[in-house]
């Protein structure tokens, strides 16, 4: 994973009197950021390893490693290789995709509420996937393609409905909420018409779940993340320049429209592939960015940290949901319960501060 360019002016107050101090601070911030990324990556790998080893039965690291290398280990080959490994990989990939895409869209629209799971992109991908699977009984590839088409279509629709001589974040969010309501009701309808009224399946498409993850589901999401992540990270510089406003960004040499389109398509692609595999895991896209911002501090690019936070969130939430309670909860319910209070808290805090959201 390549780190994006680090030496770029931090958008904080730049008092000319203390350029040297600012430079020092920036250098310190950059090294802190690298440290944070390293720590998050280590944590994510550790969580990944723990979910492979622990469960109903415990397998020592040696066994797990041999399974990953492709050796036959009695017992472990099935449990770890067939059940836990695809699930853990999907958690890692889907979490990373949601976190990365979420923070990208939040950054671009300069509003933490403008995350894909609030403005309807996830709902669109989810509705399309539910229709493709339940009503049309299509295969994994077609499902992913439809989910992406729907995600992009919804993003385009919300954006163009919100466009009235410029896009205002708040209008876009409210319109997204309206569109989500429609799409969720379509998903509910499709599921209520399913031949077997399976609540697990319903939960997968309404809140997200990793239950029964197979390699067939995981591989498209993995491939999409492998292609789209470098593409997005390549736009990191342009993206943070655009936070200063379109005019400033183009004065800095950023091709604003091209950056915006690339970023939207890549982010929506990540969301759609991850949603087609795991459902719209609730609030991961929404939570990862702000959490990463807290850890990294102001100024640095949040793309990689947010992706790692997303992976960590999904891995830990899935493990917790499976084993911490008497019942097995799908991951989306756990992240939903975590994210919901934060959403309300965010609104309270912004209102208190008198911000315009």
User: Could you tell me which of 40, 43, 67, 37 has the C-alpha nearest to residue 53?
Assistant: 67
Q: Is 92 a residue that touches other proteins (CB under 8 A)?
A: no
Q: What is the C-alpha separation between 207 and 203, in angstroms, rounded?
A: 5
3-state helix, strand, coil in the chain (%, to 5): 75, 0, 25
Q: What is the C-alpha separation between 246 and 304, in angstroms, rounded?
A: 23
Q: Is 56 a residue that touches other proteins (CB under 8 A)?
A: no
Which of the ranges 148-156, 226-234, 250-258, 336-344 carries the binding residues for other proteins, by CB under 8 A?
Answer: 336-344
Q: How many residues does the chain have?
A: 357
Q: Is 231 a residue that touches other proteins (CB under 8 A)?
A: no
Q: Which of 116, 238, 299, 339 binds other proteins (CB under 8 A)?
A: 339
User: Could you tell me which of 270, 290, 289, 291 has the C-alpha nearest to residue 280?
Assistant: 270
Give the residue with the Cβ less far from other proteins, 187 or 229. 187
Radius of gyration of the chain (CA): 21
Looking up tokens 């912004």 gives 350
Q: What is the C-alpha separation between 317 and 103, in angstroms, rounded?
A: 19
Return the bridge partners of 167, or none: 163
Instruction: Write the interaction track for other proteins spanning residues 167-196; mark x where CB under 8 A is met and - where it is not.
Output: -x-xx-xxx-xxx-xx-xxx-xx--xx---
Give the residue with the Cβ less far from other proteins, 182 or 295. 182
Q: Which of 107, 232, 330, 331 binds other proteins (CB under 8 A)?
A: 330
Residues forming contacts to other proteins in the complex (CB under 8 A) are: 113, 118, 161-162, 164, 168, 170-171, 173-175, 177-179, 181-182, 184-186, 188-189, 192-193, 197, 199, 202-203, 206-207, 282-283, 325-327, 329-330, 332-334, 336-337, 339-341, 343-344, 346-348, 350-355, 357
């Amino acid at each position: 994973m390549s780190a994006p360019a680090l030496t770029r002016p931090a958008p904080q107050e730049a008092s000319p009197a203390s350029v040297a101090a600012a430079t020092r601070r920036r250098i310190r911030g950059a090294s802190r950021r690298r440290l944070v990324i390293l720590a998050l990556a280590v944590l994510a790998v550790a969580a990944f390893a723990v979910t492979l080893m622990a469960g109903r039965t415990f397998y020592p690291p040696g066994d797990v490693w041999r399974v990953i290398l492709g050796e036959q280990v009695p017992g472990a080959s099935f449990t770890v290789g067939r059940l836990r490994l695809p699930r853990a990989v999907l958690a890692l990939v889907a979490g990373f995709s949601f976190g990365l895409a979420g923070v990208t869209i939040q950054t671009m629209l300069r509003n933490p509420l403008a995350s894909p799971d609030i403005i309807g992109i996830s709902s669109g991908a989810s509705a399309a996937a539910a229709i493709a699977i339940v009503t049309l009984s299509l295969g994994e590839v077609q499902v992913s393609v439809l989910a992406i088409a729907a995600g992009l279509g919804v993003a385009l629709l919300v954006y163009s409905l919100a466009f009235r001589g410029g896009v205002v974040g708040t209008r876009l969010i409210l319109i997204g909420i309206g569109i989500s309501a429609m799409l969720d009701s379509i998903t509910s309808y499709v599921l209520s018409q399913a031949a077997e009224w399976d609540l697990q399946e319903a939960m997968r498409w309404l809140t997200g779940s990793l239950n029964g993850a197979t390699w067939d589901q995981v591989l498209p999401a993995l491939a999409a993340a492998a292609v789209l992540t470098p593409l997005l990270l390549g736009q990191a510089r342009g993206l943070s320049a655009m936070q200063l406003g379109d005019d400033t960004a183009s004065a800095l040499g950023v091709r604003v429209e091209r950056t915006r389109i690339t970023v939207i398509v890549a982010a929506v692609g990540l969301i759609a592939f991850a949603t087609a595999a795991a459902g719209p895991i609730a609030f991961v896209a929404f939570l990862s960015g702000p959490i990463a911002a807290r850890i990294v501090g102001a100024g640095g690019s949040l793309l990689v940290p947010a992706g790692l936070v997303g992976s960590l969130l999904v891995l830990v939430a899935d493990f917790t949901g499976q084993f911490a309670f008497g019942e097995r909860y799908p991951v989306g319910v756990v992240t939903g319960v975590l994210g919901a209070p934060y959403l309300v808290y965010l609104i309270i805090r912004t209102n208190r501060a008198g911000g315009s959201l």
